[in-house]
Chains A and B, each alone.
Chain A
Amino acid sequence: MSEREVLSIEEESKQSYEKEKKSEPQQYWPDLQKDLVSLILEKLPWSERLRLSLVCKTWKECFHEIKNTHEFLPWIMCYKWHAINYGRVESICKVADPFAQKCFTVEEEEATNGTEREIFVSAVPCTSSHGWVLFVRFWLVFSREPNVNQTRLN
């Protein structure tokens, strides 16, 4: 092999090395592996995950794949009512966030209507944001879009 050839090979390998080096910074957050994205998502409450899921398509896929972690368990809800006289019902609806250890009462007038009350009976409070609570109806979870109801807390 002539000296010139050797030199050109060296030059080539140097160039490809530099090229490799240059392409390095591209390996960054946008290429974050899905399992790592999921690990980050698991550390966030549902409402934050939802915003994160809109960052890009890969992250949206992760959003649908991960399960709730113990910090973000569904809220606890207690709901009971009794008839005080014909046609009038008194009810108490409380929801509690087990992680933040906070308890909220749902306003009476919002829950007195018969159909709304039924909605609460089979609903599970999931998360809250900006004073709103997101409820999911258990028996509708298997549909494509779970039926979602919001109630403002006092």
Chain B
Amino acid sequence: MSTAATADASSSGDTTEGSVRLLTLQSEDGEVFEVKETIATQSVTIKGMVDDDCATSTIPVCNVTGRTLAMVIEWWNKHEIGAVSNEKELKEWESQFDTIDDKSDRDDVYDLLMAANYLNIPTLLDCCTSAVAEAIKGKSTDEMREFFDIKSDFDEKEEDALRKENQWAFEN
């Protein structure tokens, strides 16, 4: 693959010289991002590519849209060592992921979860799964199905039997 023309032409001229190397990431829908190597290697997948010297040209991030990749990069920037002065500020910034009751937030968290899994970003994966867990806490099974838009594939008898087995957990 040829090196794609980058959005940040000024900084892309020389990607290996100097103190910070820049990596070029291309999203599924063709958006190109220039990211510092030190930041992007928060992704275990990308770190592996860098370590194996495979990150010299554009890295295609096939399963992630530009919109989501931008959010991922924002996450990396916030989590770079020394980027945020204290833990409290970081937690506050992370708390935006805590309320995912409306559909668009839920979609965002889903996209981020997929990206975090694909790029193997442990901190983001942990945050997303926590956000989902927090959102469904206290919900009944039916409410959870509605939340995730999942249809039950148990037949009625099966489900009744399972509910009866641990009835105490299903009573409200």
Interface residues of A (CB under 8 A from B): 28-30, 32-33, 36, 39-44, 47-48, 50-52, 54-57, 60, 129-130, 132, 134, 145, 148, 150
Contacts and interface: CB of A to CB of B under 8 A. Distances in A.
B124 to A, nearest CB: 12
A51 B143 CA distance: 10
A52 B153 CA distance: 13
Interface of B: 110, 113, 117, 125, 129-130, 132-134, 136-141, 144-145, 148-154, 159, 162-163, 165-166, 168-172
A132 B168 contact: yes
Contacts of A54: 141, 152, 154, 159, 162-163, 170
Contacts of A47: 169
Given A29-B150, A130-B168, A55 B141 contact: yes
Contacts of A29: 110, 148-150
B136 A48 contact: yes
A36 B117 contact: yes
Given A132-B168, A145-B165, 7 more contacts: A36-B129, A50-B166, A54-B159, A55-B150, A56-B150, A60-B162, A130-B172
Contacts of A28: 110, 149
Contact of B168 (A39, A55, A150): A150
A56 B153 contact: yes
A51 B165 contact: no
Contact of A51 (B113, B149, B154, B169): B169
Nearest to A131: B168
Given A36-B113, A51-B139, A130-B168, A30 B159 contact: no
B150 A52 contact: no
A123 B133 CA distance: 28
23 contacts: A29-B148, A30-B148, A30-B149, A30-B150, A32-B148, A33-B117, A40-B129, A40-B133, A42-B129, A43-B134, A44-B136, A47-B169, A48-B136, A50-B166, A50-B169, A51-B140, A51-B170, A52-B136, A52-B144, A55-B148, A56-B151, A129-B169, A148-B166
B133 A130 contact: no
A129 to B, nearest CB: 6
Contacts of B130: 43
Contacts of A39: 125, 129
B144 to A, nearest CB: 5
Contacts of A30: 148-151
Contacts of A42: 129
A129 B169 CA distance: 7
